[in-house]
Structure 1
Amino acid sequence: MSVKTDEAAPPRGRTPVRTVEVAGPPPRAGRLARKGTLPYLLLLPALGLTAVFLGYPLVTNGMLSFQNLNMTQLIQHVTEWNGFENYADTLGNDTFWRVTLRSVIFTLVNVVVIIVVGTLVGLLLARLGSKMRLLLSVALVLAWAMPIIAATTVYQWLFAQRFGVVNWVLAKIGFDSMADYNWTGTQLSTFFVISLLLVWTSVPFVAINLYAATTTIAKELYEAAALDGAGAWQSFKNVTFPFLKPFLMVATFLEVIWIFKAFPQVFAINQGGPDRLTETLPVYAFVEGVGNQHYGAGAAISVLTILILLALMSYYLRLVIRQESADEAEGSEKSKGGRA
């Protein structure tokens, strides 16, 4: 932008008059701003990187799902297309549907536990003093920041059959039968260890975000609720929960994605064992594709996993949108009643 000043010679005894001309933006920038293309141009680098690092693997995986690809085809560099045969075999396999049901139940149970525990820890952070809050926040961040494989290794050591800390502690406090207990020997005990690991690494995200949400709630609202005779539960229900609800919805949305696609925790604990009874869909796709060298079938399972996750999330989003519409309608009715 440029400023041009013209000063005319004034008559004697009068103040000089200045004329200021402000030039607009350059013609090309003005056209881009008017057409609204500038924001899209700024997004191009991020979209390009996303297409390269996310779109290319998805397209390649989708193409593999329509091929009969095993070690023989890889050695001979032969591309053998078989259409929808991989999808038909997968959908016609009872094991796939058992693993799908297991994955959905596993996800729902863990998400509920994570959200409940994370909410309680977030509310605890809001009530602690500054020093204890700082100490607990540091502990949560360290648990959240620990690499997945490192955390999994720690849990393998804690629940080891012969030299595990958990078995040693249980034996010391009187449970002698737990001295050599094999935590990865049954389906339920293996899932218990995996779930404990997932909850331990996921709760900090929920707790810290919900604590941040509680800082936006005005203290006057709690004082007004106390004057009206509201107890602790009524204050949480009528004051705290409405403010936390949007954060809980977002946290639930993210946790469903993270738990459903959890692979390293499930695989590293016991490789989907015992007897493949703890395989979830990501582990099942890896075992069928890489472990059994049926790469086309593994690619088809991974594509179906993405579609199932999209179906779950679309159902959840419909529930969220319906609930938001109901809340808005209730709020408008209350406002009308207040004006009346």
Structure 2
Amino acid sequence: MTVQTERPPSGPVDVVKRDESGPAGAGPRAASRLGALTPYLLLLPACAATVLLLGWPLLKDVLLSFQNLNMAQLIQHVTEWNGIDNYKEVLTGEDFWRVTLRSILFTAVNVVLTMILGALVGLLLARLGKRMRVTLMLGLVLAWAMPVVAATTVYQWLFAQRFGVVNWVLDKLGWHSMADYSWTSSQLSTFFVVTVLIVWQSIPFVAINLYAATTTIPGELYEAAALDGAGGWKSFTTVTLPFLRPFLYATTFLEIIWVFKAFVQVFAINGGGPDRLTEILPVYAYIEGVGNQHYGMGAAIAVLTILILLGLTAYYLRIVLKREEEEAGL
């Protein structure tokens, strides 16, 4: 006769164990994992498109910068690696550093003018009535939406030496020496035309961004400032400017990138002339690479241009972050 010393597991306990380890318990865990992966899955198409459209051409450009690729190698389908010779030739030449300094000064002038004028237009939009605001915003959007090539063509016509509108107006106003003036005959006048074009195209972006930022400022702050006796300028510096500062930082960052890589405006106006005196880095890379058929050299200049732009933007972001930390510590 045998005696049962252990009590067999009961039914309910067995059921609970199956519920914890079976398919019913795996469902919530799978749903939780899927929920955690959802943001990454949604970003995957954008990341894939970025890698395909930007990453692959950038990689090809980097590889090309280490090659000696001229028309002879291109016709013969020969890959001739020359290491860092292209970079040595570029960095040891005076032309690259001269064009780099010119590009930085050109970017600084255009960004400063764009931000000042764009901010003034944005503040004007906030002060106008509804009808005038809609009219002005419509004009800004039309100017912003105009293709770069089309806008450049219009400015070529406006500043044409013969039959140009600007010369005609100046002649009628009494400056008769400007009746047949060539705006592309000197470095400064050519840069003046290009700067007017770029600033005109950039103002709408800055103005609309700044106007949108002003709509987020609570009206109670202006009322409190008025009760404290603050005038227009005091209200601007104590209420408006602190709210607009993050938008100004972000917009300036985008403008630096946009102006620094401006190619179409400079090249279409005068091809970097006269005597290559208005070349900036993107135009310099194109002329050396495609114009002179030194494709490896042009690729090296393009890579160096990207590195310089990254350095400038990193320096700007460092200044912005430092100022924000100082303001937060006050």
Q: Same fold (TM over 0.5)?
A: yes
Aligned to 1:158: 158
Counterpart check, 1:219 vs 2:219: yes
Q: 2 CA distance for matches of 1:26 and 1:232?
A: 59
Q: 2 CA distance for matches of 1:193 and 1:222?
A: 40
The one-letter code sitting in structure 1 at the alignment partner of 2:31 is: A
Q: 2 CA distance for matches of 1:24 and 1:205?
A: 51
Could you tell me which runs of 5 or more consecutive residues in structure 1 were left unpaired when the two chains were aligned.
1-21, 331-340
Counterpart check, 1:200 vs 2:203: no
Q: CA RMSD in A?
A: 1.4
What is the CA deviation profile of residues 208-261 of structure 1, one whole-angstrom value per residue up to 9, with x for unaligned ones?
A: 010011111122211221222212211111110001000000000000000000
Aligned to 1:83: 83
Give the 5 Å matches for 1:288-327: 288-327=288-327
Q: Which has the higher helix share?
A: 2
Aligned to 1:171: 171
The one-letter code sitting in structure 2 at the alignment partner of 1:32 is: L
Worse overlay, 175-184 or 228-237: 228-237
Q: 2 CA distance for matches of 1:25 and 1:188?
A: 70
Worse overlay, 43-52 or 193-202: 43-52
Report SS of the residue matched to 1:37: helix
Give the 5 Å matches for 1:24-63: 28-33=30-35, 36-63=36-63
**C-alpha displacement of 1:27:** 5.2
Aligned to 1:149: 149
Aligned to 1:210: 210
Aligned to 1:17: none
Aligned to 2:228: 228
Counterpart check, 1:71 vs 2:74: no
**C-alpha displacement of 1:131:** 0.7
Aligned to 2:107: 107
The one-letter code sitting in structure 1 at the alignment partner of 2:178 is: M
Give the 5 Å matches for 1:243-258: 243-258=243-258
Q: 2 CA distance for matches of 1:70 and 1:241?
A: 53
Aligned to 2:180: 180
**C-alpha displacement of 1:29:** 2.9
Q: 2 CA distance for matches of 1:41 and 1:131?
A: 44
**C-alpha displacement of 1:325:** 0.3
**C-alpha displacement of 1:193:** 0.4
Task: Tell me the TM-score normalised to structure 1 length.
Answer: 0.88
Q: 2 CA distance for matches of 1:164 and 1:195?
A: 18
**C-alpha displacement of 1:133:** 0.5
Q: 2 CA distance for matches of 1:227 and 1:27?
A: 58
Q: 2 CA distance for matches of 1:25 and 1:180?
A: 80
Aligned to 1:123: 123
Could you tell me which runs of 5 or more consecutive residues in structure 2 were left unpaired when the two chains were aligned.
1-23
What is the CA deviation profile of residues 32-53 of structure 1, one whole-angstrom value per residue up to 9, with x for unaligned ones?
A: 33xx333222222111111111
Residues paired across the two proteins, number: 307
What is the CA deviation profile of residues 119-166 of structure 1, one whole-angstrom value per residue up to 9, with x for unaligned ones?
A: 000000011111111100000000000000000000000000011000
Worse overlay, 320-329 or 215-224: 215-224
- RCO (CA 8 Å, sep 6+): is it higher in 1 or 2? 2
Q: What is the identity percentage for the equivalent residue pairs of Structure 1 and Structure 2?
A: 68
Q: 2 CA distance for matches of 1:134 and 1:46?
A: 34
